[in-house]
Amino acid sequence: MKIAISLPDQLFEAGERLAAQLRTSRSQLYARALEAFLREHRALGVREALAKVYGEEPSAMDAVLDELQAEALREDW
């Protein structure tokens, strides 16, 4: 899909230089940048959801599991 966007001159020029360094098209550079941005924000949503769940649930470990974990760490690997 073709789109038209406005960018500050400095950002556009930096993008042009990077596209040349990476030997890729401007379109490919912007597509990859948008993919990375979306991935980062999707990960933030997952972290926020996990924080909400774990913020509402008790985080204390069962005493038996705690002791078993400590024992495993003391063993000579």
Closest listed residue to residue 30, CA positions, set 43, 42, 14, 54 = 14
* Structural domains of the chain, count: 1
- Is 4 contained in some domain? no
Q: What is the domain range of residue 39?
A: 9-74
Write the pLDDT tens digit of every residue in 4-63. 999 999 999 999 999 999 999 999 999 999 999 988 877 777 777 777 777 776 777 788
- Is 49 contained in some domain? yes
- Is 2 contained in some domain? no
- Is 70 contained in some domain? yes
d(CA 35, CA 31): 6
- Is 1 contained in some domain? no
This prediction's pTM: 0.56
What is the per-residue DSSP string for 42-54? HHHHHHHHHHHHH
pLDDT band at 76, cuts 50/70/90? low
- Is 69 contained in some domain? yes
